[in-house]
Amino acid sequence: MKYSKLGKTDIELSAVGLGCMGMSAAYGQADDTESIATLHRALDLGISFWDTADIYGNGVNEELISKVLVKNRYKIFIATKFGFRVRDGQGDAFVGGETYVDASPKWMKQAVDNSLRRLKIDTIDLYYAHRVDPNVPVEETVGAMSRLVEAGKVRYLGLSECTPEDLRKAYAVHPIAAVQSEYSLLTRDVEKEILPLTKELGITFVPFAPLSRGLITNKLDVSALGENDFRRNLPRYNGEYLDNNQKLVAEFAEFATGKNCTPAQLAIAWVMAKSDNIIPIPGTKRIKYLEENAGAADITLTAKDLEEIENLVEKYPNIGPRYSARENKFVKK
């Protein structure tokens, strides 16, 4: 595994991280045995950068990770997030729960202690505000988060899905080590402002869903998605958008074959090639996909490769919105 620095720190992280959201019920039935085996395999492969959140499985995801994290603490750089809450603590944020954003200092004080307890550790390596709270100035949220650093509960701070304006305001209060947003061949909004800004400020950009939630792999049988899989309601998995995207990924898979790699590896390598401050966190709960994703770190794309991929994507423009109305309300415009 290759390694990359976190922001302006001296911390070296695996060039490909691991998103752990899918180990909860968000992408269908959970499989704790396979998930734990996958976490152990990640250590074998040198994948040291793991990402979770308190809302994944309503805390269950952090508890699952703790079973491996505690005995391997100094091999793992653990990131978690706060800011999403489920009304009355019922259900899952991604499957039927009534979700709202609360990034207030009051909730943060409780949330961080809850995460530390579930993860069974003393300090969180990277703590994100999962969303910027529309009712709380970002300077107030980050100011409160900075006091967690002073207290030793958190090492570094991050923001998820923030605007450029929010990032500049936050950065003026306390150093921001990482910014996390969705970024893939099918979701490219960050290229306009937020990705260049992170590079300007010396911040690591962490793309989640670099495989377009499995769509770009050309292996996903959308008709077989489970009833509780939240992708069933996303526009890209339905109707004319799905038809467009299946044609796109089929041709993308042919291109990958020509590069002697899989579509998943090519998609992750494409993300990594877009800027030298990027560390993607493809998610999986299966060892075979983890091993496949890790191989992306060894793929080099030429300028001609990138141009051909760009031309391919332009042939199929009817990709569709990344979220339905339910999820889109949490993305600040």
Known catalytic membership, residue 128: no
R_g (Cα) of the chain, nearest Å: 19
Q: Measuring CA to CA, how many Å separate 252 from each of 95, 123, 267, 311, 314? A: 31, 42, 9, 11, 12
Alpha carbon dihedral 9, 136, 167, 52, in 10-degree steps, equals: 50
Rounded CA separation 172/116 (Å): 27
Indicate the helix (H) or strand (E) that contains 321.
Answer: none
Of 27, 56, 128, 156, catalytic: 56
Rounded CA separation 94/22 (Å): 11
Per the listing, tokens 């909860």 go with 24
Beta bridge partners of 206: 180
The β-bridge relationship of strands 12-14 and 77-82 is: unpaired
**Could you give the residue numbers annotated as active site?**
56
